[in-house]
């Protein structure tokens, strides 16, 4: 495993949307790079599992149950992080929900609105709450986006709209916060080789009566590296963008998809 030891030494990183795959990897890799990590998501048990893993590795982690669709809960997250650590140096907005894969013209409007609340507005509201702290620390924001920005896969229309909106938010915040010393970038993963994609490939394989490896190889054949990125691959890019090694990078979207699309 690659090590980014020291890259975030002395930094405080808030990760919103901590789940069992990418969110966990971002939190763990940030801690491995030397950061004190604040974990935010709705489920305390999930947060504590990741926090315990970080502590067992010698890191520092604080679990803060947060409803990322509620501005009061987000305000409490910001207050708790600052009360515990006194500063916030980086924010990673990773919360997302993927809508049903149906044509955009047939998508349920309530589902679209719910998706917008998580995929777009949650990131904006968390950033608003932490903006003063990030300005004070001359910090960094990373938005986790998606390869749907680039590809033409059918059935992802609603998700593509939400992620395009998130990209616009990131670019706008870069313009607004850049003069105040805060960098804002995005990372756009491709298929992430973790449980949700593995389950999807298993389902496709069962439907066709083939081994799941056949599905993997078919998808991976569309990438330049002939493999799919793993959670740590994306997390490492996030750590880089949050570090001083990326001090001249802002307003950018870094695609991490093993060459599945070019940009």
Instruction: Answer yes or no: 159 catalytic.
Output: yes
Cα–Cα distance for residue pair 77/262, rounded to 1 Å: 37
CA angle in degrees (0–180, nearest 5) for 197-202-206: 150
Catalytic hit among 159, 191, 193, 216: 159
CA dist 229 and 233 (Å) reads 6
Q: Are 205 and 211 in contact (CB under 8 A)?
A: yes
Q: What is the phi-psi region of residue 173: left when phi exceeds 0, alpha when psi lies from -120 to 50, beta otherwise? A: alpha
Whether the CB-CB separation of 179 and 138 falls below 8 Å is answered with no
Evaluate the CA torsion angle 160, 19, 250, 137 in order and state its sign.
positive
Beta-carbon contacts of 53 under 8 Å, excluding residues fewer than 6 positions away, are 24, 28
Question: CA 8 → CA 4, 11, 13, distances in Å?
Answer: 8, 5, 9
DSSP-based helix, strand, coil % in the chain, nearest 5 = 50, 15, 35
- Least Cα distance to 35 among 87, 95, 73, 78 occurs for 87
Residues designated as active site: 159
């Amino acid at each position: 495993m690659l090590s980014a030891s020291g890259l975030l030494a002395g930094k405080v990183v808030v990760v919103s949307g901590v789940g069992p795959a990418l969110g966990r990897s971002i939190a763990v890799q940030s801690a491995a790079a030397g950061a004190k990590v604040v974990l935010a998501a709705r489920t305390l048990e999930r947060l504590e599992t990741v926090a315990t893993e970080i502590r067992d590795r010698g890191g520092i982690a604080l679990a803060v149950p947060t409803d990322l669709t509620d501005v009061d809960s987000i305000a409490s997250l910001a207050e708790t992080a600052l009360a515990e650590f006194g500063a916030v140096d980086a924010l990673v907005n990773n919360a997302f929900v993927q809508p049903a894969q149906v044509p955009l013209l047939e998508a349920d409007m309530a589902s679209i609105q719910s998706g917008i609340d998580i995929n777009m507005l949650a990131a904006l509201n968390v950033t608003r709450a932490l903006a003063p702290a990030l300005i004070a620390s001359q910090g960094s924001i990373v938005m986790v986006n998606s390869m749907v920005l680039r590809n033409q896969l059918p059935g992802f229309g609603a998700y593509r709209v939400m992620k395009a909106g998130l990209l616009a938010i990131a670019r706008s915040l870069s313009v607004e916060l850049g003069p105040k010393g805060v960098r804002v970038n995005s990372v756009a993963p491709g298929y992430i080789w973790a449980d949700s994609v593995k389950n999807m490939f298993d389902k496709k394989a069962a439907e066709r009566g083939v081994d799941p490896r056949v599905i993997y190889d078919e998808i991976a054949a569309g990438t330049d590296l002939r493999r799919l990125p793993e959670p740590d691959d994306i997390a490492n890019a996030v750590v880089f963008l949050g570090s001083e090694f990326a001090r001249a990078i802002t307003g950018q979207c870094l695609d991490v998809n093993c060459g599945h699309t070019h940009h």
